[in-house]
A and B are shown apart, each in its own frame.
Chain A
Amino acid sequence: MKRRSILAFLIFVLVLTRVLSYAQSGDELRFYLRSDPKTFNPLLVADDASETIRYLTGGVLVRVNRQTQQLQPELATAWKLSKDGKSISFNLREHVYFSDGTPFSAQDVAYTVQHLMDPAVHSPTGDSFRSGSGEVRTDVPSPNRITISFPAPVAGMDKLFDHVAVLSSRSPKQEMAVLGPFYVADYKSGSYVLLKRNPNYWKRDSAGRQLPYLNSIRMDIQSNRDIEELKFRRGEIDLVNSLDSEYYDRLASTSAKLLHDAGPSLDSEQMWFNQVGNAPIPAYKKEWFRSTNFRRAISLGINRADLCRVVFALHARPAVGPVSPANKFWFNTKLQPQSFDPASALRFLQQDGFRREGSTLRDRDGHPVEFSIITNSGNKYRERMTTMIQLDLGNLGIHVNVVTLDFPSLIERITQSFNYEAALLGLVNDDLDPNAQMNVWLSSAENHQWNPSEKSPETNWEAEIDRLMRAQPDEGAGVGH
């Protein structure tokens, strides 16, 4: 498997002058959402647009500072993790009110956690906390204290609360009553979401002025990135969330002052081979894909530096593993990325009986080495990456076919029919702790893409990863503030 962490930069490109002056729209900030938010219920958030709304409206107990990656108190003034990693206690802020005026208390946190962990709700946020079967208990000794106990240790439990927006247990407005800086004032499906300043927001700046400074945020729904760029250039929107490299360079060439490179993201691009036992592909290909030497050779045969240079205009860097350099705690700075070494690649292949015949590589039974890589159509970066991989591997005598599919077809192939040979996709990472990707790394997990739902680990290295991932939650207790 090859992994490539992308410096795909950027959380936000700020038009500083515009954001500071709000010349276009008084004290309203305007930007685009790329799709309709699927839900305003913070417990059910699974898409980017809903996540943006949750971030701006939801009140959380603790917040991971996106710049320092440290945990900061929000609605909780202090918290303590138990030594066994199974429970956490919070001291809550007093005199806090929801946007509709309902008072906030530990009962609301208990209500939120019970809903979050209700198996019938199928909350992606709740699933992050699910490390073992059993009941989740909430003890409320006083209106400002709560202890939440899980049946098994949860790794990075305190940081996971960054995604848990507290619901009101008493408000008739249900999830529309919020504790964050803004509340949803208006929404028209497919058109816009309008957020207004929460008059009851608890936070104040150092001068004692109530936050937020903005009166409203208008997010028009616009999936066309060219229109977004055009509107940004014309000053009709104030910021662009998450730029790609091409777009970034285009703006940099004309309006460099408007850009702020926020550094690498947590996301990565990866390619994997289908190693599913009953996949409808020839047995000899399965044998290739299951061979460590074959996979290592492919990895050595791909010029990652070229991919970063040509496809991402140097806004990406070769990965050293699944953890992005943006992850300050988990990234190992001593590791070096896999080098491009076609000669070593051929040596690994020879160890498995592969041989060159003219310009074609053949396996020990004489089959020409040929496979297809599927990726999602419309993603020009992935399309270009697969084309470059095709060229690189062509130099080893491997014939690669590039197949682009629309997303539903692609998902069907990699999750249901397993009718594919190799895939190139991205791993979106919302969390700093690898525990959040438990469903990718555990061999028994559904999202263990190259061979999902193994009854028992089929390789030693998967067994080792399973062991480490399961051991991780037992590691830590801690105290905050």
Chain B
Amino acid sequence: MRIMRIFRHLETILATLLIGGFLSATLARLAPGFGADEQELDSRLSAESIRQIRESHAQERNILHFYFNYLKRAIHGDLGTSRSLGKPVRQLIADRLPITVRLCGLGLLVGWTVGLALAIAVVMAQVRVLDVFAAGLAGTFLSLPAAVLALLFVYFNAPASLAISSIVFPKVFSFSRNLLAQSYGLPHIITARAKGLGSARIFGWHVLPVAGPQMLALAGVSVSMALGAAIPVEALCGISGIGQLAWQAALGRDLSLLVTVTVLVTVVTLAANTGSDLAMDIFRGQQA
């Protein structure tokens, strides 16, 4: 049964990838300025060279033809060459993926640690001042656009991964706080507290099993949240990761690069969500 579920997830991922890749290629193809190359303004270039530059875009004009060829090449590991950066897309991804993984990984770790710790502290301590302070802090970060946060971190020379944490933490805090508060309000937990059960035991044995599955769902969502935040953070902080690459690909109407980055981000997002879905299944299975 679980294997069937995994297969169904894989089917969904594959279909989403194919459709997502095609949609991103179509959007880039239809964007104004597609096929225009900055190099055309080079006053040294002869008419023949300019004609050649324009012709080099010809193969990308028919989007179906492009996408079919892209997929055919991708099966053999060739993701094409980035027009704006002049390098193989595969090499660009290989060079930059580890940077984004590190950035987002650290950002998620810190964001979750701070958000969850604060939520637990607020719910367990039930001190009004702490609740107001934590809610105010999370609200402040929540209301700041990712770009502003990125610039603040640049200004204060702070690690960019903390900018990702600052984007993830308020959402983790708000969601966890509400979830934990709800769980602590359940009758059997109130009874357990009334009977004098230790707070650690209540949290581990009664609260966590109730809140756990939804927390796992949030974990999946937070990965795409971090990836989304990586685009402005990397672009503004000058970090050469996948987020910056996505930004450059969009600005340069770089079809091969844009499709690959879109597919990659979709894979990571879907994999994270699938992972949390499966983890929830396992979690619930164990509870049952």
Task: Find chain B residues with CB under 8 A from A440 CB.
Answer: 43
A427-B95 CB under 8 A given contacts A119-B48, A124-B49: no
A460 in the interface (beta carbon within 8 A): no
Among listed A90-98, A100-108, A325-333, A402-410, interface-contacting one: A402-410
Interface residues on A, range: 35 or more
B240 in the interface (beta carbon within 8 A): yes
Complex Cα distance, B52 from A119, in Å, reads: 10
Q: Cβ of A447 and Cβ of B45 under 8 Å apart?
A: yes
Q: Cβ of A411 and Cβ of B95 under 8 Å apart?
A: no
Task: Find chain B residues with CB under 8 A from A408 CB.
Answer: 31-34, 36, 38, 251-253
Task: Find chain B residues with CB under 8 A from A245 CB.
Answer: none
A125-B44 CB under 8 A given contacts A411-B37, A416-B36: yes
Closest chain-B Cβ to A53's Cβ sits at a distance in Å of: 13
Task: Find chain A residues with CB under 8 A from B50 CB.
Answer: 446-447
- The answer, among B44, B245, B251, for a CB contact under 8 Å with A190, is B245
A113-153 residues at the B interface, CB under 8 angstroms: 119, 122, 124-125, 127-128, 130
Q: Cβ of B95 and Cβ of A190 under 8 Å apart?
A: yes
- The answer, among A124, A222, A407, for a CB contact under 8 Å with B238, is A222
A335 in the interface (beta carbon within 8 A): no
A224 in the interface (beta carbon within 8 A): yes
Task: Find chain A residues with CB under 8 A from B43 CB.
Answer: 427-428, 436-440, 447
Closest chain-A Cβ to B60's Cβ sits at a distance in Å of: 13
Number of A-B contacts (CB under 8 A): 122
Q: Cβ of B33 and Cβ of A412 under 8 Å apart?
A: yes
Closest chain-A Cβ to B287's Cβ sits at a distance in Å of: 46
A350 in the interface (beta carbon within 8 A): no
A39 in the interface (beta carbon within 8 A): yes
A211-227 residues at the B interface, CB under 8 angstroms: 221-224, 226-227
Task: Find chain B residues with CB under 8 A from A226 CB.
Answer: 151, 154
Among listed B83-91, B115-123, B217-225, interface-contacting one: B83-91
A224-B46 CB under 8 A given contacts A36-B85, A189-B96: no
Task: Find chain B residues with CB under 8 A from A190 CB.
Answer: 92, 95-96, 240-241, 244-245
Closest chain-B Cβ to A120's Cβ sits at a distance in Å of: 9
Q: Cβ of A224 and Cβ of B44 under 8 Å apart?
A: no
- The answer, among A119, A127, A230, A453, for a CB contact under 8 Å with B154, is A230
A127-B240 CB under 8 A given contacts A408-B34, A415-B36, A427-B43: no
B237 in the interface (beta carbon within 8 A): yes
Q: Cβ of B95 and Cβ of A188 under 8 Å apart?
A: yes
Task: Find chain A residues with CB under 8 A from B53 CB.
Answer: 122
A439-B45 CB under 8 A given contacts A189-B85, A408-B36: yes
Q: Cβ of A406 and Cβ of B95 under 8 Å apart?
A: no
Closest chain-B Cβ to A189's Cβ sits at a distance in Å of: 5
Contact with A along B103-142 (1 / 0, CB 8 A): 0000000000000000000000000000000000000000
- The answer, among A125, A223, A446, for a CB contact under 8 Å with B40, is A446
Complex Cα distance, B252 from A409, in Å, reads: 10
B71 in the interface (beta carbon within 8 A): no
Closest to B150 in A: A224
Complex Cα distance, B29 from A412, in Å, reads: 13
Closest chain-B Cβ to A161's Cβ sits at a distance in Å of: 14
Q: Cβ of A407 and Cβ of B154 under 8 Å apart?
A: no
Complex Cα distance, B45 from A430, in Å, reads: 13
User: Which of B35, B36, B253 has the most A CB atoms < 10 Å from its CB?
Assistant: B36
Complex Cα distance, B37 from A38, in Å, reads: 14
Closest 8 CB pairs of A and B: A190-B240, A408-B33, A409-B33, A411-B36, A38-B86, A412-B36, A122-B49, A409-B32
The residues of B with any CB-CB pair to A shorter than 8 Å are 31-50, 52-53, 85-87, 91-92, 95-96, 151, 154-155, 157, 236-238, 240-241, 244-245, 251-253
Known contacts A127-B49, A407-B33, A415-B40; 18 further A-B pairs (Cβ under 8 A): A124-B39, A125-B44, A188-B95, A190-B241, A191-B95, A223-B238, A226-B154, A227-B237, A227-B238, A230-B155, A407-B38, A408-B253, A409-B32, A411-B33, A412-B34, A439-B46, A446-B40, A453-B47
Between-chain CB contacts (< 8 Å), 30 pairs: A38-B85, A46-B42, A124-B42, A124-B45, A130-B46, A189-B91, A190-B241, A190-B244, A190-B245, A191-B240, A221-B238, A221-B240, A224-B236, A224-B237, A227-B238, A230-B154, A230-B157, A405-B32, A408-B31, A408-B38, A408-B252, A411-B40, A412-B33, A415-B36, A415-B41, A416-B35, A416-B36, A447-B42, A447-B50, A453-B47
